[in-house]
Structure 1
Amino acid sequence: MNDNNDKIRIIPLGGVQEIGMNMTVIEYGNELIIIDCGFMFPRYHMLGIDYVIPDTSYLKDKNIIGLILTHGHEDHIGAIPHFLRNFPNIKIYGTRLTAAFLKAKLSDYKNEYKDIQIYELEPRNKIKLGINFEIEFIRVNHSIPDGVGVAIKTPLGIIIHTGDFKIDLNPTTDRFIDLYKFAEYGEKGVLLLLADSTNCQREGFSISESVVQSTIIPLFAYKDGMIIAAVFASSIERIQDLVTAAKVNNKYITFSGRSLIKYTKIAEEMGYLNLYDIVIPIDKINRYPREKIVCLTTGTQGEPYSSLSLIAAGSHRHIKIEDGDMVIFSSSIIPGNEMVVTRMINNLFDLGAKMVGEDKKLLHVSGHASSEDLKLMYRLVKPKYFIPIHGEKRHLISHINLVENLNGLNTKGFLLYNGNVLEIDKNLDAKLSEPIEIRNIYVDGKGVGDLEESIFHDREQLSLNGVVAANVIIKKNINGNYDIKIDTESKGFIYKSGDNESLLLKTEELKKEGINSAMESVKKLLSKNKKTPSTIKYEVREALRRKYMQIIGREPVIFVSLYIDDIIEENKEQLK
């Protein structure tokens, strides 16, 4: 028998070294299961990107016996539509609400995914997957109902994946975390624990969601304008807090954002959300007193074209900010989105909004375990090995340090980044193995995976200094000499239109200086009989660059198009 058949292999394809894009492979023999398949919001330097998804090339030709979903947030299910295009026959397992959110997401693609196999599994129910795996869902608390951890029985021992979790003994809409089941597995013996790292640097226990509700209710007594509350579309517990606060204060709720409308409808129909019959259509809000309206909206991360971004830009179809309106941020900013969110907040201030959420009012609590939550989890589960997941490098390293400093806990941690491989052999010895090659897959409109990192440098250069396009025409006249014509057009480089005559004059002078410099360079080349297209393009580009740097100290991206008539035939071939 091949030794590899007696090994467990743990491979994170995403979610370790960044926030988002969670996806972990657990492999034994010729079978493997996957935990979650999410996307990541683009970081500040990923200009023009919609989102980032995991690289699943390693999974090609593998025997995937199940995709297990811990909950319905986008960083855990958002990449599934792209994943299914390459793996259409995979079986997917999730709780009721998670499965419903995924089905709703896939319905956006019309009939492309109508035959996908999605199975609902209740916490504490076990199911056999393939020959080597048995899984059981364990209820956890998070910022969305129906979140679970996963206990995975393998031939070598039990693996527990916590999913995103916190310990909340007084949740507003969900049952509390099943600590009994975690402890039960701890008594049986757990080989490996993969645990949430996001808030491991925070002292104490996590704050209960019920604390937020007690803060929001008096805040919603506000009477000087409309209340606009930004929230994640799938954060059903927080949405319930906001709706309850509106109900207590005799106000009406309206929703703005397609995903928010879709997910709240699903949650209400399934009994996870009570809307108290106070919802009004957004196109009817003018029929009600402004101070009686609470608008729940998407756009907490400043996403382009999200409802709150449109409101901040003054271009929302139904919601226009008026002096005295109050905007509430009931969410945290995902690392990397700070700049765009700050810009949006400033725009809202400019429109006359009163902002709440960046001050000390407790309008958001995290759905992730703080340090004491983690300590309790480790005391209950008592794993032989552990891997920090769901976090940036600083979170993962802090997680390792936190656990290794727990007195009396005999466990060993492994720090894995995306593509790293942990192997556990039949003797239960664990070691890091040869990593697999993976890269970020960028979704840019309809393009998936056809961009490399270098494109961001190009886009950054274009955004910083603009672009100049130079059109060069060289023709031989009847006297045997060359007529040269050069023209330039620019975008985002120099002042081109408007009422400032002084700036327009300087622009024309700069354009003329650049063209004259390029013209001289071309003439010198032709006089030396150096007429290759590549040489001419290079000299034109360099002449323009030098002149622009000399005059205004900036280097735009410069493109040169070239038409040459009556040049050596073999050189013409270079233009094709």
Structure 2
Amino acid sequence: MNDNNDKIRIIPLGGVQEIGMNMTVIEYGNELIIIDCGFMFPRYHMLGIDYVIPDTSYLKDKNIIGLILTHGHEDHIGAIPHFLRNFPNIKIYGTRLTAAFLKAKLSDYKNEYKDIEIYELEPRNKIKLGINFEIEFIRVNHSIPDGVGVAIKTPLGIIIHTGDFKIDLNPTTDRFIDLYKFAEYGEKGVLLLLADSTNCQREGFSISESVVQSTIIPLFAYKDGMIIAAVFASSIERIQDLVTAAKVNNKYITFSGRSLIKYTKIAEEMGYLNLYDIVIPIDKINRYPREKIVCLTTGTQGEPYSSLSLIAAGSHRHIKIEDGDMVIFSSSIIPGNEMVVTRMINNLFDLGAKMVGEDKKLLHVSGHASSEDLKLMYRLVKPKYFIPIHGEKRHLISHINLVENLNGLNTKGFLLYNGNVLEIDKNLDAKLSEPIEIRNIYVDGKGVGDLEESIFHDREQLSLNGVVAANVIIKKNINGNYDIKIDTESKGFIYKSGDNESLLLKTEELKKEGINSAMESVKKLLLKNKKTPSTIKYEVREALRRKYMQIIGREPVIFVSLYIDDIIEENKEQLK
């Protein structure tokens, strides 16, 4: 085996400069394993995008011996359907609920993934992968059941990946974080720890999920209208808190949101969720007193066409806000989504809703480790090296500062961003190596990876000042002169229709001024015998732009279509 094969290589493909899109490669010799494969919600500037997935081009022709899943949230499993199209024979490993959620997700693609096998592992079970890897799941607390960290035994030492975790000493279930197992590995010696960074800037220990339940129960005694509670579809423990609060207050539960209905059905069937037989169909809620209804809904991030967004827009089929209805946010806002969520909240206020939770912390506690949770994890595991994962740059840097300031802990941190490579050689020396080239893969409808960053600038320009399409026709008449006709149509640029006669007159005046300016530019070109299509298009575009800026100070995106008859034959070729 050569020197290169005696190295461990750690390569994050996503999740280490953003919240979401978590995916990490661990490579040794000619084998590699992958931890998680999630998507990321689009950021505010990614106009029109459904979501973003990791670039897996590095993995082409590699010997992938397993995809390991830490839990069932979308930022950890959401990109798997796309991943499987390129790597259909991959073996996937996860806990019971994670496997069930992934199977349900794959079923949305009809029969495309019917032969995919997902291997279920229980915490503390070990399994050998290939020649060089052995993995063991370690139970952690998170906002979804069956979350795990992963201990990975390699020829050079043990690597631990925490997954998303918190230390909850009083959870609402009997599933506790396995601190004993983390400590056991710490005693054996851990080469590298990859740990959750999301809440490392929060002081103290994370707040227990049981605190939320004690807050929600009295809140659900509300009697002045319907309660609408927004929650992540896969946050099963939070959903249980909400259902229990409804049960205690003698209320009925209804669900709105396809993913919410799907995941709660799975969780109930598998024994992770107790619905107490109080669920009613959403199309039957009018048969019950309004104050007896609690509607659990998706849309905490203001996603277009999510249930809560439709409710806020007044276009939901079954739920219409009435004065006195109470909307509860039992979730946090993912960084980057603040603007759309704020807009949705304002719409709900306009409809007469009473809002609770957008600023009341005890209706939501995070599933991620705060600073003291992290300190305890490092004291137990005592790694030689560590890499902060799952966070934006500010989280990763704060994570390194937090750990390197711990007294008596001899560990070295490495700051990696997507595509960076950490190598650990046979002497256990670690260094950053040459990064790999990766890019964001944008999913837009059925298009996957066919968009580049530059398109967002174009879409932003269209959204700011609209678009003007100019149609130019130039024909030579029987006298040998040129007849020129120019017309323009616009969208999102100027006032188009309505009862305001003054605005309509200004619109017509602007259109006329623009056309006249473009006409003069074309005439000058023809007099100078400058008849190439590219030159004519450019001058029309510039004439319109200058006139619009002069009159109203706005600059739309301008497209010019051109038809030329009886102009130099070689110039016509440019139109083809």
- TM-score bin (small chain): over 0.9
TM-score (norm 1): 1.00
Shift of 1:110: 0.3
Give secondary structure in 2 for the equivalent of 1:362.
helix
Give yes or no for contact 1:51–1:442 (8 Å, CA) kept in 2: yes
Shift of 1:174: 4.8
**Residues 427-473 of structure 1, C-alpha deviation per residue, up to 9 Å, x if partnerless?**
00000000000000000000000000000000000000000000000
- 2: distance between equivalents of 1:83 and 1:17? 21
Structure 2 unaligned blocks of 5 or more: none
Give secondary structure in 2 for the equivalent of 1:489.
strand
Identity across matched positions, percent: 100
**Residues 89-135 of structure 1, C-alpha deviation per residue, up to 9 Å, x if partnerless?**
00000000000000000000000000112100000000000000000
Give secondary structure in 2 for the equivalent of 1:384.
strand
Give yes or no for contact 1:215–1:361 (8 Å, CA) kept in 2: no
**Residues 336-393 of structure 1, C-alpha deviation per residue, up to 9 Å, x if partnerless?**
0000000000000000000000233510000000000000000000000000000000
RMSD (Å), alpha carbons: 0.5
**Residues 180-204 of structure 1, C-alpha deviation per residue, up to 9 Å, x if partnerless?**
0000000000000000000000000
**Residues 282-307 of structure 1, C-alpha deviation per residue, up to 9 Å, x if partnerless?**
00000000000000000000000000
Counterpart of 2:297?
A: 297
Give yes or no for contact 1:468–1:558 (8 Å, CA) kept in 2: yes
Counterpart of 1:30?
A: 30
What is the count of residue pairs matched by the alignment?
576
Give yes or no for contact 1:213–1:242 (8 Å, CA) kept in 2: yes
**Residues 519-554 of structure 1, C-alpha deviation per residue, up to 9 Å, x if partnerless?**
000000001110000000000000000000000011
Shift of 1:4: 1.1
Give secondary structure in 1 for the equivalent of 2:190.
coil
- 2: distance between equivalents of 1:4 and 1:386? 22
Give secondary structure in 1 for the equivalent of 2:538.
helix
Shift of 1:169: 1.3
**Residues 155-208 of structure 1, C-alpha deviation per residue, up to 9 Å, x if partnerless?**
000000000000001111351100000000000000000000000000000000
Give yes or no for contact 1:12–1:419 (8 Å, CA) kept in 2: yes
Give yes or no for contact 1:36–1:77 (8 Å, CA) kept in 2: yes
**Residues 251-300 of structure 1, C-alpha deviation per residue, up to 9 Å, x if partnerless?**
00000000000000000000000000000000000000000000000000
Counterpart of 2:500?
A: 500
- 1: distance between equivalents of 2:238 and 2:140? 16
Shift of 1:563: 0.2
Counterpart of 1:359?
A: 359
- 1: distance between equivalents of 2:565 and 2:165? 70
- 1: distance between equivalents of 2:565 and 2:148? 71
Relative to 1, partners in 2 of residues 1:562 and 1:380: Cα closer, same or farther, differing over 3 Å?
Answer: same
Give yes or no for contact 1:40–1:52 (8 Å, CA) kept in 2: yes
Relative to 1, partners in 2 of residues 1:409 and 1:361: Cα closer, same or farther, differing over 3 Å?
Answer: closer
- 2: distance between equivalents of 1:567 and 1:252? 76
Shift of 1:49: 0.3
Give secondary structure in 2 for the equivalent of 1:191.
strand
Counterpart of 2:399?
A: 399
Give yes or no for contact 1:141–1:174 (8 Å, CA) kept in 2: no
Give yes or no for contact 1:145–1:173 (8 Å, CA) kept in 2: no
- 2: distance between equivalents of 1:463 and 1:341? 19
Give secondary structure in 2 for the equivalent of 1:71.
coil
- 1: distance between equivalents of 2:113 and 2:170? 38
- 1: distance between equivalents of 2:390 and 2:358? 25
- 1: distance between equivalents of 2:73 and 2:170? 22
Give yes or no for contact 1:9–1:424 (8 Å, CA) kept in 2: yes
Structure 1, 294-303 or 172-181: larger mean CA deviation: 172-181
Shift of 1:83: 0.3
- 1: distance between equivalents of 2:426 and 2:117? 33
- 1: distance between equivalents of 2:48 and 2:280? 35
Quick check: 1:369 aligned with 2:385?
Answer: no
- 1: distance between equivalents of 2:565 and 2:169? 81
Counterpart of 2:77?
A: 77
Give yes or no for contact 1:468–1:559 (8 Å, CA) kept in 2: yes
Give yes or no for contact 1:145–1:174 (8 Å, CA) kept in 2: no
Give yes or no for contact 1:146–1:174 (8 Å, CA) kept in 2: no
Give yes or no for contact 1:7–1:28 (8 Å, CA) kept in 2: yes
- 1: distance between equivalents of 2:517 and 2:462? 23
Give secondary structure in 2 for the equivalent of 1:480.
coil
Shift of 1:3: 1.0
Give secondary structure in 1 for the equivalent of 2:531.
coil
Give secondary structure in 1 for the equivalent of 2:160.
strand
- Structure 2 matches for 1:9-158, cutoff 5 A? 9-158=9-158
Give yes or no for contact 1:220–1:245 (8 Å, CA) kept in 2: yes
- 1: distance between equivalents of 2:571 and 2:451? 32
**Residues 213-232 of structure 1, C-alpha deviation per residue, up to 9 Å, x if partnerless?**
00000000000000000000
Structure 1 unaligned blocks of 5 or more: none
Structure 1, 79-88 or 360-369: larger mean CA deviation: 360-369
- 2: distance between equivalents of 1:112 and 1:556? 43
**Residues 469-521 of structure 1, C-alpha deviation per residue, up to 9 Å, x if partnerless?**
00000000000000000000000000000000000000000000000000000
Give yes or no for contact 1:541–1:559 (8 Å, CA) kept in 2: yes
- 2: distance between equivalents of 1:85 and 1:358? 39
TM-score (norm 2): 1.00
Give secondary structure in 2 for the equivalent of 1:152.
strand
